């Protein structure tokens, strides 16, 4: 199985909200008719069904990006939300369309698109651009894909706000949205047999071939010393969503841990040195550390050389990174 670069990062989308502008952001959704009145050339309805959980949306209304959204579920059929002033029972039922659930967070400093077209103009999509050259919204595009070059410019112009919101939502959802998006992309891949897809998906949950491979390397919980496999979970050292196909199934990229240790390890509250010494985040609530007996951790055992590369990744990219500024 070959790794697919398209699985590594989420896609980004741009929505030009229709009036009333606050309804979708406050309600936590996007809505589009299944057949757009502007014709088949409008990408909105198709994009609604292609957007995946964990992917990011730039929310634009009245000439500014005022919020960032993260998709929480696949689009589903739903009627248009009726206007509060149109509650008469004699009216025709609202037409069905696509409803896309989104978790929106308002930006502390909204971005006025018209003031930055000298930067944005060069990176706008050639087709179906959500913005016109003058900075105004393109009314023919409701939900449009944002190319990587445009994402990079927007990240810079937003001054870290995009990354902070993405990280905040990832922490609050334990990365489940990103994992769900990658799982759907794996099922859509054409370079894998169905059996291989199933093995990669099972590995997300610490099951199947991955679990078998981990048990050939690890025999007990590194934190508690519990040896009974019935009470242990197989957890990736380099997170599943960031691993390539081989790493997703590699037994050296896994630990057998007690359930509470999985929580601490996956959230970056603990890690391990190459010699097996427990590392505890300075952001971890001391009450939690005491209650879960971290000062009485099982005696350390050195890791294999093949495991150490994964541990180095965990220490550099997960340990104390996902928990910064939070005490839990």
Cα separation, 204 vs 239, whole angstroms: 9
Find, among 7, 49, 56, the residue nearest to 187 by Cα: 7
Same domain, 142 and 217: no
**Residue-level pLDDT at 324:** 47
Q: How far is CA 288 from the centre of its chain?
A: 27
Same domain, 36 and 156: yes
Same domain, 125 and 18: yes
Same domain, 257 and 134: no
Cα separation, 53 vs 74, whole angstroms: 6
Q: What is the pLDDT along the chain (328 residues), one digit of tens a residue?
A: 444 434 445 689 999 998 887 889 999 999 998 876 555 445 556 899 989 888 899 999 999 999 999 998 889 999 876 444 444 445 555 678 899 999 999 999 999 999 999 999 999 998 889 999 888 999 889 999 999 999 999 999 999 999 888 877 776 776 677 788 788 889 888 999 999 999 999 999 999 999 999 999 999 999 999 999 999 999 999 999 899 999 999 999 999 999 999 999 999 999 999 999 999 999 999 999 999 999 888 999 999 999 999 999 999 999 998 654 444 4
Same domain, 165 and 210: no
Q: Which helix (H) or strand (E) holds 249?
A: helix 245-249
Same domain, 147 and 257: no
What phi-psi label fits residue 19: left (phi over 0), alpha (psi between -120 and 50 degrees) or beta? beta
Give domain status of residue 78, yes or no.
yes
Instruction: Classify burial at 73, counting beta carbons within 10 Å of its beta carbon; exposed 0-12, middle 13-18, buried 19 or more.
Output: middle
**What is the count of structural domains for the chain?**
2
| Whether pTM exceeds 0.95 | no
Please enumerate in sequence order all residues whose Cβ is within 8 A of that of 229, keeping only pairs 6 or more positions apart, or say none: 215, 256
Same domain, 55 and 147: yes
Q: Using the CB atoms, write b or e for 277-292: b if 16+ within 10 Å.
A: ebebbebbeeeebeeb
Any idea what the CATH number is for the domain that residue 165 is in? 3.10.590.10
Same domain, 168 and 213: no
Q: Note whether 96 and 35 are within 8 A (CB).
A: no
Give domain status of residue 121, yes or no.
yes
Give the domain range for residue 13: 5-82+91-172
**Residue-level pLDDT at 112:** 95
**Residue-level pLDDT at 318:** 92
Same domain, 167 and 231: no
Tokens of 94: 């609202």
**Residue-level pLDDT at 5:** 39
Please enumerate in sequence order all residues whose Cβ is within 8 A of that of 238, keeping only pairs 6 or more positions apart, or say none: 247, 253, 310, 313, 314
| DSSP-assigned letter for residue 279 | E
**Residue-level pLDDT at 4:** 43
């Amino acid at each position: 199985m070959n790794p697919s670069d398209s699985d590594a990062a989420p896609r980004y989308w741009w929505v030009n909200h229709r009036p009333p502008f606050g309804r979708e952001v406050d309600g936590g959704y996007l809505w589009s008719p299944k057949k757009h009145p502007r014709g088949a050339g409008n990408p909105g309805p198709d994009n609604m069904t292609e957007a995946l959980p964990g992917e990011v949306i730039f929310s634009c209304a009245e000439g500014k990006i005022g919020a960032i959204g993260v998709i929480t579920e696949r689009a589903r059929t739903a009627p248009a939300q009726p206007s509060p002033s149109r509650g008469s029972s004699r009216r025709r039922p609202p037409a069905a369309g696509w409803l896309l659930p989104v978790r929106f967070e308002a930006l502390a400093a909204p971005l006025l698109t018209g003031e930055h077209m000298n930067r944005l103009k060069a990176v706008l999509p050639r087709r179906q651009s959500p913005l016109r050259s003058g900075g105004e919204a393109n009314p023919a595009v409701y939900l449009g894909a944002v190319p990587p070059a445009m994402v990079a410019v927007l990240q810079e112009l937003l001054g870290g706000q995009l990354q902070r919101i993405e990280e905040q939502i990832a922490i609050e959802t334990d990365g489940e949205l990103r994992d769900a998006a990658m799982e759907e992309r794996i099922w859509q891949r054409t370079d894998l047999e169905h059996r291989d897809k199933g093995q990669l998906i099972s590995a997300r949950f610490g099951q199947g071939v991955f679990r078998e491979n981990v048990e050939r390397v690890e025999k007990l919980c590194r934190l508690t010393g519990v040896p009974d496999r019935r009470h242990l979970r197989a957890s990736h050292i380099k997170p599943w969503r960031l691993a390539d196909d081989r790493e997703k199934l590699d037994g050296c990229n896994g630990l057998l841990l007690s359930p509470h240790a999985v929580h601490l390890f996956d959230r970056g509250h603990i890690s391990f040195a190459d010699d097996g010494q427990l590392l505890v985040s300075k952001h971890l609530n001391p009450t939690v550390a005491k209650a879960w007996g971290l000062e009485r951790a099982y005696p350390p055992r050195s890791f294999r050389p093949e495991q150490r590369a994964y541990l180095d990744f965990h220490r550099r990219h997960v340990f104390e990174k996902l928990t910064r500024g939070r005490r839990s």
